[in-house]
Amino acid sequence: MSRRRNGEGSIYPVKDSHGRVTGYRGYVWCTKPDGGRYRKYVKGKTYEATRRAWFKLRDDASRGPVSADVPRLSEFLSYWLKEIVQPNLAPKTYQTYELFVRLHIVPHLGHKRIDQLQVKDIRQWINKLTRTCQCCAQGKDAARPVPKRRCCAVGKCCQGVLSPQSRKDARATLRAALTCAVEEEIITRNPVAVIRLPAPRKSKRRVWTVDEARRFLESARHDCDPLYAAYVLIVVLGLRKGEVLGLTWDRVDLAAAELYVGEQLQRIKGPLIRRQVKSESSEAPLPLPELCLTALKLRHEDQSADHERAGDAWIETGLVFTTRRGTPIEPRNFDRSFDRRIIKADVPRITRHSTRKTCGSLLAALDVHPRVAMQILRHSRVAITMEIYTEVPSTATREALRKLGQWLEDTQT
């Protein structure tokens, strides 16, 4: 081996009290991110193993600053969630990342030093996720009341492994965290970046036909359902559940027949949170067709009656959809009401989010142009709605909603 230059570092044997060589250590002079110089050490049981680690460290030092204190993955993920994700991303995104970190990443990889993570470690971790029953790993069955235990706690493993999509999401979470570690110069490369997973097969979600959507709304109107107006906004305008529950009266202009979506209501780890919608494009005004306008006027009358009956017990929130005392509607209770209405209307059961696709189907059935449908559904890219690109004036959006509302109104009369 060629002679090392001054200041480059060295490798030397480590001896025990009897003078026997038990291993080797080496060090390289590195530069900290703040510009300071320090010795960073590597060690190994054999000279060759130490020499390989020494060369790697030397190469890392030649490319730029090397962090002196390299944390374990669990420590870094805790920092990443608290200092990077929570202050800068949506609460729901933080909740999702925290869930994957706590349940699927830290139990398997958290003990490893972040700079010692290798591609093979990531592959073994993902492969383990395909075999690990989450019911067993998380003690889900053991947490159930004794009479309701049915799998792991009674010796009958249910083989509840993560779905392909969840494994892909877990990998994406770790990749995002380690990308941050690279940006902060804690590590020089992201070992997750080279991992590729097959794209999960997308199951075709059931959506309502135009006639089924009409029957659903007819049922809610006939029974004077207090959430009738919410169902209209979801089916006709494609609003999300959180957007409907977070809608306030100051963003509804009944005179101008316009609605502005500004906030959404979500429950994040306990408290209900009102937060801004995803993007500025989501806040663009939506013209209200006659059906939506009529439904909102009815809702205003019903809420005024609730206010009068509640008297001093009324809690003013400014929300369009509230309980009989003015408090926000619990998102889970909304889902339960939606499911009960499906049964009463005798229409196929679909997820609440599938109503957005139903809205798209309704627009397509009325020969509404894809660009107009994109504006109504407020997709960020027209490719999400349909892979067609063209320019449509804003008046076309109003006309499309007018046609849709008029058509549904005619079928209900």
Give tens-digit pLDDT for 254-289: 998 888 887 888 887 777 877 777 655 555 678 888
- Summarised one tens digit per residue, pLDDT across range 76-125 is 999 999 999 988 888 888 989 999 999 999 999 999 989 889 999 999 99
Looking at domain 210-412, its CATH class is mainly alpha
Cβ pair 389, 270 in contact under 8 A: no
pLDDT at 348: 92
pLDDT at 388: 36
How many C-beta atoms surround the C-beta of residue 29 within 10 A? Answer: 15
pLDDT band at 410 (very low <50, low <70, confident <90, very high): low
Mean pLDDT lowest for which of 5-14, 56-65, 163-172, 239-248? 5-14
Provide, rounded to the nearest whole percent, the portion of the chain with pLDDT above 70. 81
The residues spanned by each domain of the chain are 10-63, 73-183, 210-412
Q: Which of 193, 13, 192 is nearest to 112 (CA)?
A: 192
Asked if the model's pLDDT at residue 304 lies above 90, the reply is yes
Cβ pair 158, 133 in contact under 8 A: yes
What is the pTM (predicted TM-score) of this model? Answer: 0.66
Beta strands 21-31 and 37-44 are antiparallel
Give the CA count within 13 Å in the CB-facing half-sphere of 399.
Answer: 10
Cβ pair 42, 53 in contact under 8 A: yes
Asked if the model's pLDDT at residue 7 lies above 70, the reply is no
- Tell me, what DSSP letter sits at residue 105? I
Cβ pair 275, 245 in contact under 8 A: no
Cα–Cα dist 304/318, whole Å:
12
Mean pLDDT (the chain) is: 82
pLDDT band at 387 (very low <50, low <70, confident <90, very high): very low
Cα–Cα dist 145/18, whole Å:
61
Mean pLDDT lowest for which of 194-203, 237-246, 371-380? 371-380
Beta strands 258-259 and 252-253 are antiparallel
Give the CA count within 13 Å in the CB-facing half-sphere of 263.
Answer: 19
Q: Which of 224, 216, 233 is nearest to 347 (CA)?
A: 216
pLDDT at 6: 47
The CA distances from residue 214 to 62, 323, 347, in Å, are 68, 26, 10
